[in-house]
Amino acid sequence: MSSTPEVYLDSASAARLHPAARETLLAALDRGYADPRRLHGPGRDARLLLDNARAVLAEALGAHPDEVGFASSGTEAVHRGLLGLTAATGRDGIVHSAVEHSAVLHAAQWRDSPAHASVAVDADAVVDRAALAAAAAARGVGAVALQAANQEVGTRQPVDEVDLPGGVPLLVDAAAAVGHVPLPQRWDALTASAHKWGGPAGVGVLAVRRGTRWTNPFPGDDGLDQPGFPDVPGALAAAAALQAVLAERDEVAARQHAQVDRIRAVAAAVPDVEVVGHPTARLPHLVTFSALYVAGDEIVTALAARGFGVASGSACTASTLEPSHVLAAMGALTHGNVRVSLARDTTDAQVDAFCAALTDVIGEIRAGAGL
């Protein structure tokens, strides 16, 4: 194994805790321990902290504070958001793009409906807008789900350009996009996850616009917040991290775009390697490619031995042992897949070192297999 510290290139799975989040979390542990629903002093103190976190997140997401609730994860936020929209309308059908996060697919599977529809995407993972609108107009559709950007290949969806029929609410899964790019303006419900932008794990966000019909689909009160005891320090740390990330977003994104362009060019120059995802309408920090004649876990393991931590969505490393449904929907190569997602502090030197290691690793693995 490499004796040098690992270069973490898997921030799309989870970003390192932002220094602002760490500082806020430690301070909030001493003040936010009480039940914010109580009227005693510590309870009122915790309520103030929770309200402050809600206000900061609302401003960052382009919402009002009373439109923002907390969940235990981005996955739970998607489940409660989508199923709450369909429960309120009385129509169980969920229409979604074929490349949505598995949380959306699982929500649709959990409540069966003949009106469910998965809408095709093109080779860059961009949804067919006309087909999405047509599917949303079908009888029995209670909600449409369309992500702001894809978590596997980085493609940004044209959310604001989608023309949906009146009365059909739109849920936007913004987990991959928050903190990296401006968010769509058009949504009825929006979900996010703090550990994707440098906040603590275990803090999800569900926002529902005023006037949107939504009801809690699970046992508990009919509010946006998850039932049970709220994680006040976690919510406040998540808000502090997002505030800090947004303050530096443009500068970080410009640097990451150039770094990813470098990785894309080097990967594309390797024989029989396919770089996937939209070349320009994409997240700044993420790039995915697939290599013929090489298994994804082989590349990941070999890169880890050289000190680079990356991810793979190929069948051999997925927990379901199934190929990536995103790559399959795009018609892309699902074998030998590698996803690289830069951290906010990834340096040019680290990217150059990674590019050199990538070329060597793929060549060595193929040579070892007699190719």
Tell me the catalytic residues.
Answer: 316
CA dihedral 288, 299, 329, 8 (to 10 degrees): -40
The two beta strands, 286-291 and 68-71, are unpaired
Q: Rounded distance, CA 270 to CA 266, Å?
A: 7
Tally of CB atoms within 10 A around 82: 30
Beginning with the edge strand found earlier in the chain, give each strand of the sheet holding 337-341 in spatial order: 273-276, 286-291, 337-341
Kindly report the backbone phi and psi dihedral angles of residue 126, in degrees, each rounded to the nearest multiple of 5, phi listed first. -85, 130
Q: Rounded distance, CA 133 to CA 144, Å?
A: 9
Q: Which two tokens stand for residue 286?
A: 């993420």
Beta-carbon contacts of 35 under 8 Å, excluding residues fewer than 6 positions away, are 43, 46, 229
Kindly report the backbone phi and psi dihedral angles of residue 246, in degrees, each rounded to the nearest multiple of 5, phi listed first. -65, -30
Side-chain half-sphere of 310: how many Cα atoms within 13 Å? 35
The answer to whether 283 and 182 have CB atoms below 8 angstroms apart is no
Q: Rounded distance, CA 34 to CA 173, Å?
A: 31
